[in-house]
Structure 1
Amino acid sequence: MNDVDARMDRLRRAARYRYQQLVDSEIERGSLDPDEVREERRLLQARDVGQHARALIEEAERRGTFEGNPYHGKRLPGNDGHHDPDWWIKAKIEREEITGIAPPALALRKEDAELDEHLDALSAEADVRDVLEDFNARVKEARRQLLGGPPVVTPLREVDDEITRWRDRREARLASDARAAAERAAAFGDRPRRWWRRRR
């Protein structure tokens, strides 16, 4: 054992001692459950933590703890092999349709996915431009913030290109509505129906 290893070993022993003293004082004050502390100590002393965890899982399976769990023995949804530490909060937000509290990265990503539909509901080009400029400003602001959470990967929208696409979609929608109206008129005859008749 060289000097660095010996020094690290001494530091580890000192840290364990300080931790032990802290835990003992917390148990005496009643803020820690002694059974949980015993279990944690047993886990810390286990040579193979993975083997210990597998044994605990097998014991819980025998007790039936996982009965009725829809993910028992399956890969977690949305887990494509890449670790995402925020998977659970993303799933909860999506499952319960929570709005207003999501991290900016997630809120902007969702808004980006629904932005075209929102723009199509607008009738004035100035309103479309205002919405796009506001969206871009919020994306830039979220990129500047260092609040933690997932990174902001939502792209900025090119305002003039988006307005051109909005016009194209609007014209296609108006043409489709006009065709549908013409087909309805042809189905009922060329003359408009009279809903009243003159009395003689």
Structure 2
Amino acid sequence: MAEWQDEERRLREAAVTKAMGAAPEPEVEAADEAAEESARARIDQQTAWVDRQVRAAIARGEFDNLPGAGKPLKLPDTHDPDWWTKRLIEREKITGIAPPAIGLRAEDAALDAELDRMATEEQVREALADFNRRVVEARRQLQGGPPVVTPTRNVEDEVNAWRQRRAERRAVVRAAELREKAETPRRRWWQRRATH
């Protein structure tokens, strides 16, 4: 233990001497070189060990039949250092990590389709109130990232638009049902009895 403390003291003194501009003592300089050589030898040993482990895994066939083996990487056309992370987010469908401004913009773009899947006017109003609350909250927060430019939605206008889209969908369905009914031949009462 005393030897280690003595070595540490000598290295500290060498650092102070070097910082002051004086020439380092020969024994401290030799200690520095020995420490560097020891670190290099340790790194070389670790590298050799890792290489042996990889070669053994290859020999056992652990890298055979991996997904994407022998296929080129699908890299973006332009240089993007975060391409792998973005692909992971897309592939795993990870959500909730974008800044609020970007997340709200994406949600705003898909909001009409989400509202159309709702069955009641009350659900539509609740969804719009929640969306507007989060937009206002994001504007108040100073979390960094791009500014929140997503507008709030007028609840009454959106409910009216939802009603209109719903009526149009129902009209299309009703028209298809009437067309199908008109195309099927009517059977007479005596034809119905004959089949039973």
**Normalization by structure 1: what TM-score?**
0.51
Do structure 1's residue 75 and structure 2's residue 78 form an aligned pair? yes
- Measure the CA separation in 2 of the matches of 1:87 and 1:147: 24
Shift of 1:91: 6.0
Q: Given the alignment, which residue of 166, 169, 173 partners 1:170?
A: 166
Is residue 135–residue 152 contact of structure 2 (8 Å, CA) maintained in 1? yes
- Measure the CA separation in 1 of the matches of 2:96 and 2:161: 29
Do structure 1's residue 109 and structure 2's residue 105 form an aligned pair? yes
2:120 equivalent in structure 1? 124
- Identity percentage of aligned residues: 51
Q: Which runs of 5+ in 1 are unaligned?
A: 1-16, 18-26, 35-67, 78-84
Do structure 1's residue 142 and structure 2's residue 138 form an aligned pair? yes
2:89 equivalent in structure 1? 93
Shift of 1:71: 3.8
Q: Given the alignment, which residue of 165, 172, 179 partners 2:175?
A: 179
Q: 1:166 to 1:86 in 2, by over 3 A?
A: farther
1:13 equivalent in structure 2? none
- Measure the CA separation in 2 of the matches of 1:102 and 1:182: 47
Q: Which runs of 5+ in 2 are unaligned?
A: 1-18, 20-34, 44-71
Is residue 129–residue 155 contact of structure 2 (8 Å, CA) maintained in 1? yes
- Measure the CA separation in 1 of the matches of 2:195 and 2:74: 71
How big is each residue's C-alpha offset from its partner over 1:100-143, in whole Å with a ceiling of 9 and x where there is no partner? 33322222122112111111111211221111111001001011
Q: 1:144 to 1:91 in 2, by over 3 A?
A: farther
Letter matched to residue 78 of structure 2: R
SS at structure 2 position matched to 1:153 = coil
Do structure 1's residue 153 and structure 2's residue 149 form an aligned pair? yes
How big is each residue's C-alpha offset from its partner over 1:38-84, in whole Å with a ceiling of 9 and x where there is no partner? xxxxxxxxxxxxxxxxxxxxxxxxxxxxxx45447x3258xxxxxxx
Instruction: Report which of the two structures shows the higher radius of gyration computed on alpha carbons.
Output: 2
Is residue 93–residue 102 contact of structure 1 (8 Å, CA) maintained in 2? no
- Measure the CA separation in 2 of the matches of 1:198 and 1:155: 66
Letter matched to residue 148 of structure 1: G
Tell me which protein shows more helix as a share of its residues.
2
SS at structure 2 position matched to 1:100 = coil
- Measure the CA separation in 2 of the matches of 1:187 and 1:180: 11
- Measure the CA separation in 2 of the matches of 1:103 and 1:140: 14
Letter matched to residue 180 of structure 1: A
Is residue 139–residue 154 contact of structure 1 (8 Å, CA) maintained in 2? yes
- Measure the CA separation in 2 of the matches of 1:178 and 1:170: 12
Letter matched to residue 75 of structure 1: T
SS at structure 1 position matched to 2:78 = coil
Shift of 1:188: 1.7
**Normalization by structure 2: what TM-score?**
0.52
